[in-house]
Amino acid sequence: MSPKRDAEKWTRRPADHDMPLTYLVNRAGPKGHSPCIILSGDVVGGYVHFIRGRSVKCPDNECAHCDNNTERRWRGYLVVADARSRELSLLELTAAAMRPIDTYFRKHRTLRGALLETKRVPEKANGRLYSLITESAINVDSFPAVPSVKSLLRKLWCLPSVASDNGEVERKIRLHDDDQDICSA
């Protein structure tokens, strides 16, 4: 005889898919980003559209936003810690800021532990973003392990938690963000 199941289901915490993204997206303001320590090994990037003040991943094929001539731009992301406050965030970079970062990565084979600072020229919200990346004397072992940037971006853009082999289903999920509230946010 099996034990009687409780009609009410109680849990200590919500499921991972119900929990909000805990890393704030750190977009460069008119002055750029303040100095930060890179905790990711490398940049994860892709093309996005900006729809109603939010970035939406472009699926690269059969994209409704591309069909509507919505501008598509490359953005790169990595997890960083503010050099002063140690607050963690998901930093967003533009293509213009990538050359020094790519050069640093080629030399050191990782970005983890580097000190990154960006600035905009001119100091306007849409000024070109430039980056300065140098080796840091800060020991990154004192910082917590960071999750995969791809998993954070999937959560941010309401994509499936793992990439599937069924491209048609993924395409429909990505295109579902039309003018409804994006990912219930």
Looking at residue 177, its amino acid is D
Q: Cα angle at 24 between 161 and 55, to 5 degrees?
A: 65
User: Cα dihedral angle (144, 85, 132, 21), rounded to 10 degrees?
Assistant: 60
pLDDT of residue 172: 46
153 close to 165: Cβ distance less than 8 angstroms: no
Closest CA to 32 of 158, 135, 136, 117: 117
Closest CA to 119 of 25, 61, 35: 35
Please count the other Cβ atoms lying within 10 Å of the Cβ belonging to residue 150: 14
pTM above the 0.75 mark? yes
pLDDT of residue 163: 59
pLDDT of residue 87: 93
Tens-digit pLDDT profile for the chain (185 aa)?
A: 555 555 678 888 888 767 766 788 999 999 999 999 999 999 999 999 999 888 899 987 889 999 999 999 999 999 999 999 999 999 999 999 999 999 999 999 999 999 999 999 999 988 999 999 999 988 889 898 888 999 999 988 888 876 554 445 444 444 443 434 445 44
Sign of the CA dihedral 128, 74, 150, 158? positive
